[in-house]
Amino acid sequence: QSALTQPRSVSGSPGQSVTISCSGTSSNVGGYNFVSWYQQHPGKAPKLMIYDVTKRPSGVPDRFSGSKSGNTASLTISGLQAEDEADYYCCSYAGDYSFVFGGGTKLTVL
C-alpha cells in the first residue's frame, strides 16, 4: 500500500483556519468512511483527533473538524492556537483488515 498523500507543511496565524488534505484512492479513502486523523507533538505518541471521517472523540475541541469528498479527506482546524502546532497524520482503512497512513503534515502557527 502506498502512503496517502498529504502536504508536507501548512501554516496559519492564531485565530485563522487551516485545512490539511489527505488524498488516496477508491481502495482506501474513497472506498470507506473510515478515515481518522492524529496529532503528534515532538517526542510524543500520536493522539486521535477525528475518526470515521467526521467524528470527534470526547475531549477534542470542536475547532477540529473532518470531511471527505471522493478520494480526498480533509482536516480543518479553525481558530488556530499555538498549541495546535504539531504534525498531523491521516489514516484510512484499506480493506482486507489493513490500514494505511498519510505522509504527515507539519502545521506551523505563525
Partner 1 sequence: QVQLVQSGAEVKKPGASVKVSCKASGYTFTREAMHWVRQAPGQRLEWMGWIDARNGNTKYSQTFQGRVTITRDTSASTASMELSSLTSEDTAVYYCARVELTVGGYYFDYWGQGTLVTVSS
Residues that bind partner 1 in the complex, under the rule CB under 8 A: 1, 3, 32, 34, 36, 38, 40, 45-48, 51-52, 57, 89, 91, 93, 96-104
* Closer residue to partner 1, CB minimum distance, 19 or 34: 34
Residue 9 Cβ, how far from partner 1 at the closest point, in Å? 13
CB of 79 to partner 1, least distance (A): 24
Cell, residue 49: 483527533
C-beta of 44 vs 79, nearer to partner 1: 44
Quote the least distance from Cβ 14 to partner 1, whole Å.
27
In this complex, which beta carbon is closest to partner 1, that of residue 14 or of residue 93? 93
What minimum distance in Å lies between the beta carbon of 10 and partner 1? Answer: 16
Q: How many CA atoms lie within 13 A of 89 on its CB side?
A: 17
DSSP string, 18-33: EEEEEE--TTTTTT-S
Inter-residue contact 76 to 63 (CB < 8 Å): no
Cα gap 52→33, rounded to integer Å: 6
Q: How many CB atoms lie within 10 A of CB 15?
A: 10
Closer residue to partner 1, CB minimum distance, 10 or 46: 46
Q: Determine contact, residues 104/39, Cβ cutoff 8 Å.
A: no
